[in-house]
Amino acid sequence: MSLASFQDLLDAAHRQPDPQRLLFVFARVDLPENATDDQRQRHAQREGGTLSPSLCVDKTPAEVANFEALVVESETTGQPWDIVFVGSMGGRAGVAPNSDEAAQPLRFMVNAINNGRVSDFAAFDRNGEVLQFG
């Protein structure tokens, strides 16, 4: 599915036949240790760096009014972030997964991001712009 906005993601979650739980991993884009001049230049142009997950949360689509509300809520944690990765879990028999069931998939997302495997997740910058990774 191609997303043009965060609202597209919320709308798609609401349209699923079974209730969903959205999984959010907020990450910082940092310079690698011992960065080269080229890496520093690319980082300054927001084109490179390493991803460091800094915050995880799970929510039902109904608990997320819009992207702006998600940003405001994330700011209350004091954890800086540059990109939010989003995955989802489908429920069963009309029941959405609960937060306990989301813990392991969130750990999987963090591990995948740490290993550079981000293409399976929707990604948005702090302005809510959709990000594509090659």
Q: Where are the domains of the chain?
A: 6-125
Of the candidates 106, 100, 66, which has an alpha carbon nearest to the alpha carbon of residue 86? 106
- For tokens 């069963």, the residue is 92
The bridge status of strand 50-59 relative to strand 20-30 is antiparallel
pLDDT at position 47: 74
- At 31 the pLDDT is 83
What's this model's pTM, rounded to 2 decimal places? 0.91
- What pLDDT tens digit does each residue of the chain (134 aa) get? 578 999 999 999 999 999 999 999 999 998 877 878 888 887 777 777 789 999 999 999 999 999 999 999 999 999 999 999 999 999 999 999 999 999 999 999 999 999 989 998 999 999 999 998 76
DSSP states of 32-99 as a string?
A: PTT--HHHHHHHHTTS--EEEEEEEEEE-GGG---HHHHHHHHHTTT---SEEEEEEEE-BTTB---H
> Given this model, what pLDDT does residue 14 score?
94
**Please, are residues 119 and 133 in contact by the beta-carbon 8 Å criterion?**
yes
57: left (phi over 0), alpha (psi -120 to 50) or beta: beta
The conformation of residue 4, written as its DSSP 8-state character, comes to S
Predicted local distance difference test score (pLDDT) of residue 89: 96
* E strand or H helix that includes residue 28: strand 20-30
Give the model's pLDDT for residue 134.
65
pLDDT for 44:
76
* Residue 34, pLDDT score: 81
